[in-house]
Amino acid sequence: MQWLRIAIYALVVAFAIFAFAASEIWPSRADLWLNLFAEAIGVAFIVVVVENLIRISEQRRSRPARYAAFKETLLIYNRLVGLWFQMIQSAFRPEMHGHLLAGDALRLLDARFGEVAMRLYLDAEAPVRPKRNWRYFLSHQVDDIERIIDRCLQRYSAFMEPEVIQCLQELERTSFFTYAKLQPSLPTIAEELGRKHSPFFGWGGKSSAADLIDPLNRLGSLLAAHRIAFEGMPDIPEKVELDHPARIDTLRKSASDPGTSPPVGGVSAGDVPASQAV
């Protein structure tokens, strides 16, 4: 109803200009124009007040649905952040990536960590039970998150801010989702082409990672801003974490103690020439 409020203000201003001009042209009827102007202001005031009351009533009525949309979107955000951290933690090598941890204002959702993600060894065991390697675990996780995004948009798009919908749609279109879902089939494709498939994820670097990190960061900021509207609702989180300092500390600990780094299966980057990798 924002357009209605703007239209009313525009009409009041236009009528005020007209009433002033008319009182100058017809001085004998100045009182009449002033009375009409006062009536117009009164009508506009009543309309604006009623419109605000309707809007407040609608917000109260839709609050449970908007909160359900908030919780579902927060689930998507947390799932993606958790998956990103698991990838970085599994692929992080202090001797290769320690320089990325320099500085105090470091955030987990930083595109610089894309160069860590691309070194994820897909044949290594993922942190999940039953046991599964990263190739299948990553594909399964992305499929599941994509399904949750579709469900969220189908159920709650009428109660979500346009900016939030845009972030979710951008996440679905990210190259990360596409590449992760392809991983189980890539070895077979490579074999059919007579080429050796790289055991590393390969997706990443600053430019590719930004494709995922930018909308994810915007989504987190929107959720943090919207959280205050749901104070008092059940299971409301104390805050929406944006910087994830505890996870950064975990990476710094592994950098200072190389023994905490997960094994990569004994495969080095030089084992698969880039010209032969698929």
pLDDT at position 36 is: 65
Q: How far apart are CA 11 and CA 264, in angstroms?
A: 70
pLDDT tens, per residue, the chain with 278 residues: 556 566 666 666 666 666 666 666 666 665 665 666 666 666 666 666 555 655 555 556 668 899 999 999 999 999 999 999 999 999 999 888 888 888 777 889 998 899 899 999 999 999 888 888 999 999 999 999 999 999 999 999 999 999 999 999 999 999 999 999 999 998 888 888 888 778 899 887 777 899 999 999 999 999 999 999 898 888 888 999 999 999 999 998 887 765 555 544 433 333 333 333 34
pLDDT at res. 267 = 36
Q: What is the pLDDT of residue 89?
A: 93
Where exactly are the structural domains of the chain? 63-276
Q: What is the pLDDT of residue 190?
A: 81
CA distance linking residue 170 with residue 214, whole number of Å: 9
Residue 133: strand pairing partners: 125
Q: What pLDDT, on the 0 to 100 scale, is given for residue 102?
A: 81
